[in-house]
Amino acid sequence: MGQDPGLRRLALGTLLAAYPGPVPPDWAVDLLAEGLAGHTLFGTNIHDPAQVAAATAALRAGRPDAIIAIDEEGGDVTRLAHATGSPYPGNAALGAVGDVTLTGQVYAAIGAELGALGISLDLAPTVDVNSADENPVIGTRSFGADPARVAAHSAAAVAGLQSTGVAACAKHFPGHGATVADSHYELPTVDVPPAVLRERDLPPFAAVIDAGVRAIMTAHIRVPALTGEGPATFSRPVLVDLLRDEYGFTGTVITDALEMKGAALAAGGVGPAAVRALAAGADLLCIGAKVDADLVELVAGEIVGALGDGRLDRARVEEAAGRAAELAAGTGADAAGVGVVGADAAGADAADGLGYAAALRAVRVEGDVTGLIVPLVVQVHAASTIAEGRVPWGLGPHLARAEEVRVVAGETDPDELRRRAGERPIVLVGRHLHRLPGARGLAEALAAAHPVTVVEMGWPGAWRPAGARAFVTTYGASHANGRAAAQVLGLTG
């Protein structure tokens, strides 16, 4: 006996899928015509503005009100500029500047670029309070460690982004900033009472709700006092009792990617995770990045099966699909390809104005950075998170004359670097050096017998290298951050 087409369409209406490559395959468009809520674009879908606009137009041929989403946070998480690095600083840099008007302007610029390309939902801003220096997945994606500062900038980011007609999605509820594990690989635990969450992690979510945020994304984190053994994504006390009843959120609840280990392992697969998320109160289910037609059908089939065996109530799924449809209908970016020239202009403006000026304002210098005209620049290798992807970073593209070498911290002889530098000072560039194996030792061994300036392009933490001539913090590793650091050091020519 075949699947009920009405129930299949209902199930598809709760799903945010994805597809490979720059051109949407036929199945991705056909599923939209059959009721799929939308697709998320990733770096593999992005070549240039004209191509992106053509892709979104092709998707909207399947469904004019399709949700077309993207993770465009600026800073270290960019999809549009994955080949070069973002021309905007990220949240940590904006938080360091402390100008909420600037934060709103940067997010409005990002929104204008997205809207011109036919993208209707930005899975941003990250509003987590990064209270753990060792956090491996949030870090510079956060506006900072102070809840009040994060709240103010989060509200400004939402207002700026949504002023362009692109919906914002604040993430990751109820707060991923205190974790020391990455939910892409495991289920992190934040073992604190709800009172701590209300004081430390939840003020930014209250602020974005007051600012009218259209969507909020769940966190695949375990808070035992609220979620028991499972993640917040599967917790009705978190998604309904806390988010909707206590904090008054009436928009769309979107899950973080269900393919992530923090959800998929906890549920026994992406299909069962979708059922559990819907039952808990989620509305729009982000399947993930590696999606094909078979996976979409598997998840939709699991939802239809759960409607038949009682794991899911039909009214709950209808409510979820309705909220997803409201999100799609309420965005102003449904004229795909309108203003593609404007998108190019927005990128040019960022390159020559707003984004780079903002990154320059964020740079902090401790010590003396004079006299570095022709240093040896040593970039320490750092792996990227899944959220960041492989995006170029560092000072290299912005150096006028200085030589650059790239090293692995734990495999590098400091004496060899000193010999290579000769009479030249060394500029050591890294990301999250305080927690990168071997990086502290390398920095301090170099500084013990050579003039060394350290440039930290990740979350800085409290560590400072003994003996270093200067410590420079950029609060991010975007193209804009790299250019700003090179300029402060006098290395741009």
Q: Would residue 172 show up in a list of annotated catalytic residues for this protein?
A: no
Q: Which residue carries 């917040």 as its tokens? A: 232
Q: Would residue 256 show up in a list of annotated catalytic residues for this protein?
A: yes
Chain centroid offset of residue 192 CA: 25
215 torsion bin: left (phi>0), alpha (psi -120 to 50), beta (else): beta
Alpha-carbon distances, residue 177 vs 97, 138, 145, 147, 155 (angstroms): 20, 6, 8, 11, 17
Distance between CA atoms of 151 and 143, rounded to whole angstroms? 9
> Token pair of 295, please?
């996976």
Burial of 400 (0-12, 13-18, 19+ CB in 10 A): exposed
> Token pair of 143, please?
């506006």
Provide the b/e sequence for 324-361 (b: ≥16 CB within 10 Å). bbebbeebebbebbbbbeebeebbeebbeebbbebbbb
Q: Which residue carries 């808070």 as its tokens? A: 223
404 torsion bin: left (phi>0), alpha (psi -120 to 50), beta (else): beta
Distance between CA atoms of 354 and 451, rounded to whole angstroms? 34
Question: What amino acid occupies position 449?
Answer: A
> Token pair of 336, please?
């795909």
Q: Are 221 and 239 in contact (CB under 8 A)?
A: no
Question: What amino acid occupies position 359?
Answer: A
DSSP 8-state secondary structure symbol assigned to residue 117: T
Sequence-distant (≥ 6) Cβ neighbours of residue 42 within 8 angstroms? 18, 70, 71, 79, 289, 389
Q: Are 302 and 267 in contact (CB under 8 A)?
A: no
Q: Are 491 and 375 in contact (CB under 8 A)?
A: yes
- Of 82, 176, 184, 398, the catalytic one is 184
Question: What amino acid occupies position 249?
Answer: F
CB atoms within 10 A of CB 309: 8
3-state DSSP call for residue 1?
coil
| Nearest Cα to Cα of residue 79 among 145, 36, 115, 123 | 123
Sequence-distant (≥ 6) Cβ neighbours of residue 221 within 8 angstroms? 172, 174, 175, 176, 179, 183, 187, 188, 189, 190, 231, 232, 262
| Nearest Cα to Cα of residue 32 among 3, 74, 68 | 68
- Of 182, 256, 283, 334, the catalytic one is 256
Distance between CA atoms of 271 and 199, rounded to whole angstroms? 35
Tell me whether strands 67-70 and 215-218 are parallel, antiparallel or unpaired: unpaired
Give the residue numbers marked as catalytic: 184, 256
